Amino acid sequence: MGFDAASVRLDFPIFSRTFEGKPLVYLDSASTSQKPTAVIEAEADFYRMHNANAHRGIYTLGEEATELFEQARSTIAGFFGVSDPGRLVFTRGTTESINLVALAWGRAHVREGDTIVLTEMEHHSNIVPWQLLAKATGAELRYIGLTDEGTLDLSNLDELLTTRTKILAITAMSNALGTITPLAQLVDAAHAVGAIVVVDAAQAAPHLTLDLQTLGADAVAFSGHKMLGPTASGGLLATRALLDDMEPLFGGGDMIREVFHDHSTWNDVPFRFEAGTMQVAQQIGLAEAVRYLQALGMDEVRAHERDLTQYAIEQLQAAGATVYGPTDVEERGGAVSFWFRNVHPHDLAQVLNEEAVCVRAGHHCAQLVMRRYGTPATARASFYVYNTADEVDALVAALDKAGDVFAL
Amino acid sequence: MALDEIYKEVILDHYKSPRNKRELPNASYTCSRNNPLCGDEIRVSANVEGDRLTDVTFQGAGCSISQSSASMMTEAVTGTSVAEALDLASAFRGMMAGEVEPDEDRFGDLVALKGVVKYPIRIKCAVLAWDVLQEALAGDGAAAATHDH
């Protein structure tokens, strides 16, 4: 086997922690991932040895900071198959990136009577910015529905995507169901009616090879903290055409070329969208995370998670849990939502905590999904490079304890 | 161990066999609210004659803490005056904030929820029903008040 999660774990200092003598079983990476020593050190090393503001100082230290920051941009863009680093706008993550497109492109291009097409499996962060845009412009929202199996129902796609559609905003992988969406097909269908495609890659970017050159989406939003990087790292990768067509959102700092009494001119893309001092150390940390993932190999990462997810689904179902979303691991990632017997997810997560097993409980910021499947909440176990089959066993053993506490 | 402190027998009993969990048609007061964190929803209905709460019922779905607290609450405030119910609500909130040592006679089964104080994120579950009751009774009482959120 080319991938050894047990040795990968050794790179993550947090796994040395125990809780009342029990080892940490961290199954909430869809929420945020843990960080390897290399990332923690890269960020700390910037502060220790290279700290200055980027794009400002004439002195050597300032130039070092600028160079590291811009190298990070190239490294991170390259991870997504993009050779032009100018297509990467740094942001605090997926939510900010989606809002950037909605505000900076949407307000200028979307009109009353236009439609914005979403899916019912979107995270709230890929719904609410579009609701705000629709409210501001008079555009209408349309939703691609879900099948009972947890995939997109594309049977009426022709009715939803019309020449009135300006934007298709869609997740690459559902955080609540794990579903991988058929992006290539949807990008083609949206482009055929002249709509732009905005992809929420918060869940997909850490786990799948996303080659934007091949994918052809207009804008892709991702979060560094879910892919082994620091919080507040991440960005928006977009086509030059889209970025050139966007108005600045925030004014101030490095986004400016010249200021006059009554107007100003803007810096080039992508700096036009990077007002104020940026997350310099964090994006440098994310570049290190990207190098770490590349060293593991994204195909290996995917294969490891596919095997682990398969095992988890089998074990959960055998223990009496109802699993939401596709059960075929070719169609899904490693976020596994489930309901265990009669135990409410909040109670379940509480009992699991006693065994140092960390799962998420709630609606996962996907209330449309919860409503679609008639449940107020689910428990969710999600896996990443450092998780092992032993941890799935620990989860199932802890489930049995919860079953005993709440036995009717 | 810690689990026994939060999931006491009496809590599990109210969760598995909730008291006063039914509709109350034409109630003097009805109010519902959900906990945005977990999606738990509680609807509380109450009939008032004079200043007495003659019937207090709840409906909803949620975790053992939110549901058992609602069940215990309906038992604790049925038959009391509106002022006494609001006073107990305030005392219960004080217990959940770790500021009030509960009087066992007055609190009854509610004492069992004291263990939840150690789990700050679950305190919201425990006080949800009480929030709804307070909001329901906050109406002027002249007409049936329905507040939906």
In a domain, B147, yes or no: no
Residue B34 lies in a domain: yes
Backbone phi, psi, residue B62, to 5°: 170, -165
CA–CA separation, A327 vs B48, rounded Å?
52
Instruction: Using alpha carbons, list the distances in angstroms from residue A123 to A68, A81, A365, A372.
Output: 33, 25, 6, 14
- Is A346 in contact with B38 (Cβ distance < 8 A)? yes
CB under 8 Å, gap of 24 or more: what pairs does A275-280 form?
A: A275/A248, A275/A249, A275/A250, A275/A251, A276/A250, A276/A252, A277/A53, A277/A54, A277/A253, A278/A54, A278/A69, A278/A90, A278/A254, A279/A90, A279/A92, A279/A230, A279/A232, A279/A233, A280/A46, A280/A53, A280/A54, A280/A65, A280/A68, A280/A69
What domains sit in chain A, N to C, each tagged with a CATH number?
A: 5-27+298-405 (3.90.1150.10), 41-294 (3.40.640.10)
Please list the pLDDT of chain A residue by residue as tens digits (408 residues).
568 999 999 999 999 999 999 999 999 999 999 999 999 999 999 999 999 999 988 899 999 999 999 999 999 999 999 999 999 999 999 999 999 999 999 999 999 999 999 999 999 999 999 999 999 999 999 999 999 999 999 999 999 999 999 999 999 999 999 999 999 999 999 999 999 999 999 999 999 999 988 789 999 999 999 999 999 999 999 999 999 999 999 999 889 999 999 999 999 999 999 999 999 999 999 999 999 999 999 999 999 999 999 999 999 999 999 999 999 999 999 999 999 998 999 999 999 999 999 999 999 999 999 999 999 899 999 999 999 999 999 999 999 999 999 887
Within A80-160, residue ranges assigned H as helices are 94-100, 107-109, 128-137, 157-160
Total tally of structural domains belonging to chain B:
1
What is the interface pTM, i.e. ipTM, of the complex? 0.84
DSSP string, A241-293: HHHHT---SS-SGGGEEEE-SS-EEEPPTTGGG--SS--HHHHHHHHHHHHHH
Does the residue B145 lie in any domain? no
Between CA A324 and CA A327 the distance in angstroms is 8
Give kind and range of the element (H or E) at residue B135.
helix B120-137
- Asked if residue B149 is part of any domain, the answer here is no
Domain range enclosing B60: 2-140
Q: What CATH number did the domain enclosing B56 receive? A: 3.90.1010.10
* B43 near A CB under 8 A: no
Q: Tell me whether A408 touches chain B (CB under 8 Å).
A: yes
Instruction: Please list the residues that pair with A26 across neighbouring strands.
Output: A358
Q: Which of A350, A362, A376 lies nearest to residue B122, judging by beta carbons? A: A350
Rounded CA-CA distance A191/A161 in Å is 10
Residue B45 placed within a domain: yes
- The residue behind tokens 């307070």 is B134
Q: Would residue A365 show up in a list of annotated catalytic residues for this protein?
A: yes
Tell me, yes or no, whether B146 lies in a domain. no
Q: Is residue B49 part of a domain?
A: yes
In a domain, B61, yes or no: yes
Amino acid (one-letter) located at A365: C
Of the residues B34, B38, B121, the best mutation for testing chain A's interface (the one with the most A CB atoms within 10 Å of its CB) is: B38
Give me the sign of the Cα torsion angle A363, A366, A367, A370. negative
